[in-house]
Structures are given as structure tokens and as C-alpha cells.
Amino acid sequence: MTTTPRSKDPLHGITLEAMVNDLVAFFGWEELGRRISIRCFNSDPSVSSSLKFLRKTPWAREKVESLYLFVQRERKRQSV
């Protein structure tokens, strides 16, 4: 019996779209725009426009990933 090694990357298997949807559900567009000040979150926000921008802009994607991981850690800590 062999087992496949698990990835140590906490974002492994999580799509950018899932991250954005989760953050919007958790914070809402207005608060998300305050926490990460980028136009796609503040001016006529939508998931599709955000994904287009985030896929082309590494620094913004890193901020979204970082905030997503923070939210996941907080949820886990609160559920214990």
C-alpha cells in the first residue's frame, strides 16, 4: 500500500476564485476593499473583474492569498 505525499502548501487545491468568493462572503466587498485597497474591490466590484486583475498582478494576488490564509487560521482558532 502506497500513499501519495501531501503538499505542504496550505493553498494547494484552492482556486483563486474560491479564495475571492470566500473573502467576499466573509467581509463583503466594502470591507475587502478597505483591507486590500485595489480598484477591482472598490470600484464596481465583481468576481470576474477581480480574477482578471489578480491573475495579472502578482503583488495583489499575494495580498489576497495572505488575507485568505489569515481568515482560515482565525476560523480554525475560533472553532477550537
CATH number where 64 lies: 1.10.720.30
The reply to whether the predicted model has a pTM over 0.85 is yes
pLDDT of 18 > 80? The answer is yes
pLDDT top residue among 4 and 38: 38
Residue 6 lies in a domain: no
Q: Tell me the average pLDDT across 48-70.
A: 97
Q: Which residue range is the domain that position 33 belongs to? A: 16-79
CA distance 57 to 61: 6
Residue 2 lies in a domain: no
Number of domain units in the chain: 1
Best CA proximity match to 38, nearest among 56, 25, 13, 26: 56
Residue 79 confidence (pLDDT)? 87
Residue 4 lies in a domain: no
Residue 39 lies in a domain: yes
pLDDT of 1 > 60? The answer is no
